[in-house]
Amino acid sequence: MTLPFSPAGTNAWAAAGMIAAIVLASTTGEVLTAGAMQSIGDLDEIRARAGLASAIRAVISSSKFLGGVFFLALAFFALLFALNHLALSLVAPASASLTLVTNAIAAKIFLKENVDHRRWTAAVLVCMGVYFLAH
Amino acid sequence: MAHHRLSPRQYLILGLVALCAPLGDTCLSRGMTSLPHLTLAHPASLLAAVFTPWIAVGIVLLIGFFASYLTALSWADLTFVLPATAFGNVIVALLARFWLHEPISVQRWIGIALITVGVSFVAQGPSLTERPAQEPTRADETAR
């Protein structure tokens, strides 16, 4: 089975694998990054009190942030690879939307965010949206 | 969960988050589709692709996205900030259709519409989870 909107007629399972790799790396990176920013605090506030250099120093000295950047870089190269095989209008919305759902779950578990009914409804609508995008 | 009102500056940052990502992705797509097919057997060719013009511009836009994204994460929940990026899907679809001339079916437009509606649900809610006892943040330590 090939996808009609892939430049090289890429197999559907291969396409799913490429998108899954982006989503997994991206979710790990985003949760680590958000955790780091949560512990650092409001960057605008730091910049106002101690200057831009202090704000940058506070960010790049966080090991959690650096771990997040590593996984986001992995996601980036997975995205480049996928874009070489699949259409942008599939890869970008599918990976971004699935990441939204996996992030909602990860944010509730790891960041203890209050993911209320609005955010879960959004996750369901986004899943339906992804289904339509992929068919 | 308390309602944290966003300032105009914070809305501007969310706008940059939504705009820079799809523009960057579109530049990357333009650059990558013009290259010969890459395989995992030659990972160095992926690194070489970074220095081609479209991909370089895409990377600059994505750096702009990342800077505004980090700023937004410092005052809002991940589950609030991320949906802002989903608005970019509409921009991507429009760019893909009218700039890259990729065909977009009615079903895929419905998908994009559903995602947009989902995003609007999140946008109506609070931006930050209220935590009972905040530990001292690095912002406080830096200010001391």
Say whether B102 and A88 touch across the interface (CB within 8 A).
Answer: yes
**Which chain B residue lies closest to A69 (C-alpha atoms)?**
B66
| Residues of chain A neighbouring B55 (CB-CB closer than 8 A) | 80
| Helical H segments across chain B, by residue range | 8-33, 44-49, 53-73, 78-86, 88-98, 106-123, 138-143
| pLDDT computed for residue B2 by the predictor | 46
Say whether A58 and B142 touch across the interface (CB within 8 A).
Answer: yes
The tens digit of pLDDT for each residue in B14-35 reads: 888 888 888 887 888 888 888 7
Say whether A89 and B140 touch across the interface (CB within 8 A).
Answer: no
Check: CB of residue B12 under 8 Å from CB of residue B18: no
| pLDDT computed for residue B43 by the predictor | 74
Of residues B144 and A79, more confidence is placed in: A79
Facing A88 at nearest CB: one of B21, B55, B92: B92
HSE-CB at A94 with a 13 A cutoff on CA atoms is 23
Cα A88 to Cα A83, B17, B65, B101, distances in angstroms? 6, 18, 18, 11
Check: CB of residue A128 under 8 Å from CB of residue B113: no
| pLDDT computed for residue A88 by the predictor | 77
Question: Dihedral angle at the C-alpha atoms of B52, B58, B60, B66, nearest 10 degrees?
Answer: -140
HSE-CB at A31 with a 13 A cutoff on CA atoms is 20
Say whether A88 and B89 touch across the interface (CB within 8 A).
Answer: no
- Using 50 as the pLDDT threshold, list the residues of chain A that sit under it: none
Angle at alpha carbon of residue A51, lines to A45 and A53, rounded to 5°: 115
| pLDDT computed for residue A36 by the predictor | 93
pLDDT range class, residue B1, cuts 50, 70, 90: very low
3-state secondary structure of B122: helix
Instruction: Name the minimum distance, in Å, from the CA of A116 to any CA of chain B.
Output: 9
Instruction: Name the minimum distance, in Å, from the CA of B15 to any CA of chain A.
Output: 16
Say whether A126 and B115 touch across the interface (CB within 8 A).
Answer: yes
Domain range list for chain B: 8-132
With tokens 């559903």, the residue in question is: B114
Instruction: Name the minimum distance, in Å, from the CA of A14 to any CA of chain B.
Output: 13
Q: Is residue A1 exposed (0-12), middle (13-18) or buried (19+ Cβ within 10 Å)? A: exposed
Percent of chain B with pLDDT over 90: 8
Q: Tell me the whole-structure pTM to 2 decimals.
A: 0.71
| pLDDT computed for residue B14 by the predictor | 85
Instruction: Name the minimum distance, in Å, from the CA of A16 to any CA of chain B.
Output: 17
The residues that bridge with A29 in the sheet, in sequence order, are none
The tens digit of pLDDT for each residue in B41-80 reads: 777 777 788 888 999 999 999 999 988 989 999 888 888 8
The backbone region for B136, taken as left when phi is positive above 0, alpha when psi lies in -120 to 50, beta otherwise, is: beta
